[in-house]
Amino acid sequence: MATQAISRSVAPPVEERADLAAWLAVAAGTLGALMATLDISIVNSALPTIQGEIGASGTEGTWVATSYLVAEIVIIPMAAWLQRLLGLRTFLLIMAGLFTAFSVVCGSATSLTMMIVGRVGQGFTGGALIPTAQTIIAQRLPRRQQPVGIAAFGVTAILGPVLGPLIGGWLTENISWHYAFFINLPVCAVLITLLLVGLPHEKSRLDLFGEADWLGVAGLAFGLGGLTVLLEEGQRVQWFSSSLIRWMTLVSAAGFVLLFAGQATAKRPVVKLKLLLDRQFGSVALMGVVLGIVLYGTSYVIPQFLASIAGYNSLQSGKIVLLSGIPSLFMMAIIPILLRFIDIRLAVGAGLLIMGSSALIDAHLSAGSDGSDFVVSQLMRGVGQILGMLFLSQAVVRSVPREDAGDASGLFNAVRNLGGSLALAGISIIQDQRVWLHSRRLEETLGANSIAVQDFVRANGIGRIAQQIQIEALVMTYNDIFWIMGIGTLVVLPLILFLRPLPKDAAPAATH
């Protein structure tokens, strides 16, 4: 009887559940991450229009996308330290406010320089919103409810890049390209409100200011910034015959020296590069670079092709880019099943194979190709993105000790963005070189004494044949770009052999 009385008097444990404020905080983090990922690609479909209005050439236009990615690379590893320094809510309020201001700069830009300044600011402030969204999920939600937050974050991470070209294209065609940036103003107003309501104020710890790896921060900024200028402008200004390129080479080299100096002297380096020495993590990072090249490279090249060759407007191009998000969204629903039952080596291998094959499919375009020629490859790309990026992201946090998981996640996100930055810079170089080469080779095939050539010139004029040569050379160049991305993806395929299976009972980690 006594035992029964005691058992009746002991209340069952109450399941911990998040309150409304916690969910508002998660909503704020998710909205911030969506806005940041959306702005990576929102300019892609509108870029031909933007280039014309700010007086930028096709190769210079890549700066509009590249500058955002490079700035993100610098801020993402610093986000955890900055939120400890300022407190999570204060840090996010500052970043959201500055992101709004830089969005206004972009929307008001009348020159390439002004646009680049705004995009750098957007990347630096928006990049901070991505990892902090994961922090909010981990801190504000009980473990049992974290998968809901992780799923919401995963959807935004996928939706952002694929919705960006569609939204940017619609705004460009129906209102103005300026509103691709001004749209952030009401979104940021909602975000700031949610942050004020959902997150408690935390006391700043300014004593941590002196503990920062300032050598590493300066090294990242100068190293990557100088390297980006070198790659973007080198071809246009004849490489080392230009004093700009020589100076940028020195700046980049000095930056990387500072970065490595920070590794040796800082108590907690801004980027823990020694993690790359781990066989599994190093393999994951290299595959992340390649997947970043394909993801960001294709989302940039496809709208450019459709605009210059098929005559598509910004909205039509955005719809084609959106196709890759359809299979991704469907597959998000079965992520827990995929993680539990599919071996990581099989999943990543399949993802790389699909991504590589989708790029090779696009390497057979012609002057008559249009959006329908990208449907199959875009749907394949959506499947490959989930299998590749999702499982690689899980491998990141499982391949290093628990205390290094945050550093590993930041480094993986940085190298993925680095892949995108290298892709855009590489595309600019390839376009300059290969268009010239293909044009000369096509001209060599046209004999001045050819009856067919003479008839064409009489019917259309010499200007028309020059225009046709330029179009064909551009198509051949786009085919070269897709071929390089496809082969590059397949080259890293053997690295899957270095991966270790994921624990069967592990919950999915929040990743971007």
Cα–Cα distance between 511 and 138 in angstroms, integer?
12
pLDDT at 103: 92
**At 444, is the pLDDT very low, low, confident or very high (cuts 50, 70, 90)?**
confident
In this prediction, residue 375 carries a pLDDT of 93
The closest of 54, 49, 132, 21 to 87, measured between CA atoms, is 132
Assign 484 a pLDDT band (cuts: 50, 70, 90): very high
Q: Residue 435 pLDDT more than 70?
A: yes
Q: Which residue has the higher pLDDT, 354 or 201?
A: 354
Mean of the pLDDT values across residues 307-335? 83
509 pLDDT band, cuts 50/70/90, is: low
Amino acid code (one letter) for 59? T
DSSP at 386? I
First to last CA, the chain: 56
CA atoms within 13 A on the CB side of 249: 9
Q: Residue 11's pLDDT is what?
A: 47
- C-alpha to C-alpha distance for 345 and 354, rounded to whole angstroms: 14
Per-residue model confidence (pLDDT) at position 15:
53
Confidence of residue 14 (pLDDT cuts 50, 70, 90): very low
Q: DSSP secondary structure string, 89-107?
A: HHHHHHHHHHHHHHHHHHH
pLDDT at 490: 92
Q: Which of 239-243, 352-356, 399-403 has the highest mean pLDDT?
A: 352-356
Q: What is the mean pLDDT of residues 446-470?
A: 72
Cα–Cα distance measured from residue 34 to residue 167, given in angstroms and rounded to the nearest whole number: 13
Q: Is the pLDDT of residue 105 over 90?
A: yes
Task: Please answer whether residues 219 and 262 qualify as being in contact, where contact means their C-beta atoms are separated by less than 8 angstroms.
Answer: yes
Predicted confidence (pLDDT) at residue 10 exceeds the cutoff of 60: no
Note whether 95 and 195 are within 8 A (CB): no
Entry field: residues in the chain? 512
Q: In this predicted structure, which of 220-234, 247-261, 344-358 has the lowest mean pLDDT?
A: 220-234
Give residues with Cβ within 8 angstroms of 207, minimum separation 6: none
Tens digit of each residue's pLDDT (9 = 90 or more) over 178-219: 888 999 899 889 988 888 888 788 787 777 777 778 888 888
Average of per-residue pLDDT values in the chain: 81
Residue 6 predicted with pLDDT over 60? no
Cα separation, 30 vs 38, whole angstroms: 12
Which residue, 457, 453, 431, is CA-closest to 444?
453
Of 388, 381, 411, the C-alpha closest to 320 is: 381
Q: What percent of the chain has pLDDT over 90?
A: 15
With beta carbons less than 8 A apart as the criterion, state whether 43 and 103 touch.
no
Average pLDDT over residues 121-141: 80
Under 8 Å CB-to-CB from 330, ≥6 apart: which residues?
none
pLDDT of 369? 92
User: Which pLDDT does position 12 carry in this prediction?
Assistant: 47
Q: Which of 175, 59, 101, 119 is nearest to 474 (CA)?
A: 59
Residue 101 backbone phi and psi in degrees, to 5: -60, -45
Checking if the pLDDT of 506 tops 70, the result is no
State the Cα–Cα distance between residues 364 and 352, nearest whole angstrom. 20
Q: Taking residues 256-272, report their average pLDDT.
A: 84
User: How large is the average pLDDT for residues 465-482?
Assistant: 89
Query: Which of these ranges, 3-12, 72-81, 449-458, has the smallest mean pLDDT?
Result: 3-12
pLDDT score, position 357: 94
Burial 222-249 (b: 16+ CB within 10 A, else e): bbbbbbbbbbbbbbbeeeeeeeebeebb
Give 190: exposed, middle or buried? Use CB within 10 Å, 0-12, 13-18, 19+: middle
pLDDT category of residue 394 using cuts at 50, 70 and 90: confident
Residue 239 has pLDDT above 90, yes or no: no
Task: Give the span between the Cα atoms of 56 and 247, in whole angstroms.
Answer: 23
pLDDT for 4 equals: 52
In 3D, which of 263, 295, 265, 260 has the Cα closest to residue 420? 295
d(CA 283, CA 293): 16
Tell me, what's the pLDDT at 52?
A: 80
pTM above 0.75, yes or no: yes
Share of the chain above pLDDT 70, in %: 88
User: Using an 8 Å Cβ cutoff, are 245 and 298 in contact?
Assistant: no
Specify which of 140-149, 323-332, 354-363 reaches the highest per-range mean pLDDT. 354-363
The average pLDDT across 305-319 equals 87
- Burial profile 120-137: b = 16 or more Cβ within 10 angstroms, e = fewer: bbbbbbbbbbbbbbbbbb
Most confident segment among 54-68, 156-170, 318-332, 376-390: 376-390
pLDDT band at 113 (very low <50, low <70, confident <90, very high): confident
